[in-house]
Amino acid sequence: MTKLFNEAAIRQTAKETERWRKETLQDKGGSGSYTTESGIPIELLYTPEALAGMEYNRDIGYPGEPPFVRGIYPNMYRGRLFTVRQLAGFGAPEDCNRRIRFLLDNGATGVNIVFDLPTIRGYNSDDPEAEGNVGQCGVAVDSLEDMEALFAGVPIDQVSVSLVTHLPSVTVVLLSMYMVMAEKRGIPFAKLAGTTQNDFLMETTVGSGPEILPPQASFRLQCDAIEYAARHLPRWNPVSYNGYNLREAGTNAVQEVAVAIANAIATAEELIRRGLPIDAFARRMSFFWDLCNDFFEEIAKCRASRKVFYEVMKNRFNALDERSCLMRFHVQTAGITLTKIEPLNNIARSAIQGLAAILGGAQSLHIDSYDEAYSAPTEQAALVSLRTQQILQAETNVVNTVDPLAGSYYVEYLTKEMANRIWGYIQEIEQRGGLIQAVESGWMHREISNYAYQQQKDIESGKRKIVGVNYMRSGQATQGNIEVFRYPETEGRQKAKLASLRERRNNDIVTASLAVLREKCRSRENLIPYVVEAVKANATLGEIEEVFRQEFGLWQFPLA
């Protein structure tokens, strides 16, 4: 194995750089100190010196080969373009179904379903807690019938579907509904391709709520879904470790990746404890990154995250199947960077972030719509997002060679630095007793809160510039003339459907199936089969969640 640059060459370059500094640069280099968003120092110029000691095969390698810095597939986008996976979700299932079909008819190759807050937090549309939220910012799903209405006419054996379920407790119910729907249509489980989000940090750390399950319980349900999928759903990604929302809540790029991988480590340990070999489930784990505005750092993050995950799976868990070591990730452009002021600027932000995702080797991509600081996207805004993806794919020629930024002194330096820092943060979490402990003790929440607070202070002071907001602000702080999406009236319709369902279904079977589920909560058994039975009996989401809340108890996260 040889180094990229031998020591003599590095020494020669160092000498030349010194000369250049004196003769050519002189005092034009400026004196300010520059860092990436996560705090990595940035030099004015990078030369081969930044790559001193690096070996190509060991540290960078080839796409489709360890350490997978350059991508998980040998041919990357020539083999298969990233999935254009746009978000859809609002109103009643029937309303949302129309939007799904609109996106698919216009060339989207997958869909991302987002649910309204009551669904996301495990309440029915007619629960008092749901008031004012039904069908807002996502689609309402209360029952198996709603799931069927949502996907009516959608070929779920051909389209890859991502259910943005957030919480494990909700994942196990909605995934069960999805499976029962497939079974009723005669589609074998082996054909179901898609993703559920299923991240206990969403339940206990990233999102707050009036009734939260304790970390241990939420983590158990997360692992139940992964274990079940490992055994029965060969094409399903039962978990999407959600760095995205963690980042949006308040972390930097290093923390985003490190915490998600720490969650994967905790999961792997638990499933191994349950008797599954690493190679039975590791390849079904997927990740979800938030690509913000620091262009090169985000690309380096994507490249570094693949390497760290490979090292974890290979060295720590001794994975034998190479597929277990491949980090597959979805990217969504950063909602947190979108502004309400001058919303059309968001098209530019999202396009640049989308480009970074491609240069980082993402498997699927959602580009945010310019009006997200207002409401769910209008049809027009959703189309601009879709078209942005298609422009990147078809017009820019960036997809036709693999990992085109490899070999850039700067990008390779950042990638190496990122990987080191991700490892450092993983170690910090482990020193706190692992991720679950770090959540239970409130440390994770404090990390987020402190970062968010600092970020806000930097915006207030102008240290962090946002065009149109605290930098280059035009005299009139207008919003421009954009149409704002109006949600269709949903609450009334969902309530009526629930009332009708309760009339029609056999309530004895519902009660019996919930009683079995309740009993199994106290055991260590995987709960999915019992949730499936309850779903088949037409038990509603809220009824099943209430069993969890009663059995597992509630937890309030510590926030100082």
Partner 1 sequence: MKLVENADPTRQQVMQAIVPWTGRAHIIGLTGPPGAGKSTLTGQLARLLVKGGLTAGVVCIDPSSPFSGGAFLGDRVRMANLNSEPGVFIRSLATRGKLGGLSASTAEVIMLMDAAGKDVILVETVGTGQVEHQISHLADTTIMVTVPGLGDGIQTMKAGILEIADIFVVNKADREGAEATARDLAHMLDEFITGGWRPPVKLAVASRNEGTGEVWEAVQQHRLHLQGTGQWEQKRRDRLVRIMIDNVQAQALDRINRALEQDSLLQNLVRRVADGNLDPYAAATFVSGYLWQRQT
Partner 2 sequence: MERKVVKVVMAKLGLDIHWRGVVAVSRLLRDAGMEVVYLGNQFPEAIVNAAIQEGADVVGLSTLGGNHAVLGPKVVQLLREKGMDDVMVIMGGVIPEEDIPALKAAGIVEVFGPETAIDEIVACINANVRQVG
Which residues sit at the interface with partner 1, rule CB under 8 A?
Answer: 210, 214, 441-442, 553-560
- Using CB distances below 5 to 8 A depending on partner kind, what does residue 558 bind out of partner 2, partner 1, none? partner 1
* Rounded Cα distance, 259 and 282, in Å: 17
Q: How far is the CB of 373 from partner 1 (least distance, A)?
A: 27
What is the token pair recorded at 250? 């308040």
> If contact means CB under 5 to 8 A according to the sort of partner, which of partner 1, partner 2, none does residue 214 touch?
partner 1
Closer residue to partner 2 (CB): 42 or 137:
137
Side-chain half-sphere of 241: how many Cα atoms within 13 Å? 27
Shortest approach of partner 1 to residue 558 CB, angstroms? 7
The answer to whether residues 312 and 264 touch, using CB atoms and an 8 Å cutoff, is yes
Q: How far is the CB of 254 from partner 2 (least distance, A)?
A: 18
b/e code 178-201 from CB counts within 10 Å (16+ = b): bbbbbeeeebeeeebbbbbbbbbb
Site of interaction with partner 2 (CB under 8 A): 117-118, 120-121, 123, 128-133, 136-137, 166, 206-210, 248-250, 339-341, 373-375, 448-449, 452-453, 455-457, 460, 466, 469-470, 479, 484, 487, 556, 559
Distance of CA 504 to the CA centre of its chain: 38
The answer to whether the CB of 543 falls within 8 A of the CB of 514 is: yes
Q: Which entry of partner 1, partner 2, none binds 429, CB below 5 to 8 A by partner kind?
A: none
> Of partner 2, partner 1, none, which one sits near residue 176, judging by CB under 5 to 8 A according to partner kind?
none
553 binds, among partner 1, partner 2, none (CB under 5 to 8 A by kind): partner 1
The residue count for the chain: 560
Cα 343 from chain centre: 24
Neighbouring-strand partners of residue 162: 112, 195
Identify which of 186, 367, 197, 220 has the alpha carbon closest to the alpha carbon of residue 287.
197
- Decide whether 128 or 188 has the Cβ nearer to partner 1: 128
> Residues near 71 by Cβ (< 8 Å), separated by ≥ 6?
63, 64, 306, 361, 402, 403
Whichever of 45 and 554 has its CB closer to partner 1, that residue is 554
Q: 83-88 and 110-114 as β-strands: parallel, antiparallel, unpaired? A: parallel
Whole-number Å distance between alpha carbons of 161 and 166: 15
Closest to partner 1 by CB, 63 vs 442, is: 442
The sign one gets for the Cα dihedral 135, 140, 146, 151 is positive
Considering the complex, state which of residue 248 and residue 546 has its C-beta at the smaller distance from partner 2. Answer: 248
How far apart, in whole angstroms, are the C-alpha atoms of residue 304 and residue 70? 9
Name the minimum Å distance from CB 510 to partner 2. 24
Q: How far is the CB of 371 from partner 2 (least distance, A)?
A: 10
167 or 217, CB closer to partner 1?
217
By C-beta, is 22 or 522 nearer to partner 1? 522
Q: Which one of partner 1, partner 2, none interacts with residue 555, CB within 5 to 8 A by kind?
A: partner 1
Nearer to partner 1, 293 or 441 (CB): 441
Nearer to partner 1, 487 or 552 (CB): 552
Asked if 357 and 315 count as a contact pair (C-beta separation under 8 A), the reply is: no
Q: Which does 42 bind (CB under 5 to 8 A by kind): partner 2, partner 1, none?
A: none
Least spacing, CB of residue 456 vs partner 1, in Å? 14
Indicate the residue among 404 and 442 with the shorter CB distance to partner 1: 442
Task: Take residue 474 and report the two structure tokens written for it.
Answer: 């035009």
Q: How far is the CB of 345 from partner 2 (least distance, A)?
A: 12
Which partner in partner 2, partner 1, none is near 137 (CB below 5 to 8 A by kind)? partner 2
Min. distance of Cβ 555 from partner 1 in angstroms? 7
Nearest partner of 430 among 164, 226, 422, judged by Cα: 422
* Nearest distance from C-beta of residue 374 to partner 1, angstroms: 30
DSSP class of 242: E
**Best CA proximity match to 389, nearest among 369, 371, 367:** 367
**What's the closest the beta carbon of residue 350 comes to partner 2, in angstroms?**
16
Partner touching 373 among partner 2, partner 1, none, CB below 5 to 8 Å by kind:
partner 2
Residue 449 binding partner per list partner 1, partner 2, none, with a CB distance cut-off of 5 to 8 Å that depends on partner kind: partner 2
537/532 Cα distance (integer angstroms): 9
Amino acid type, 267: T
Count other C-beta atoms under 10 Å from residue 226's C-beta. Answer: 28
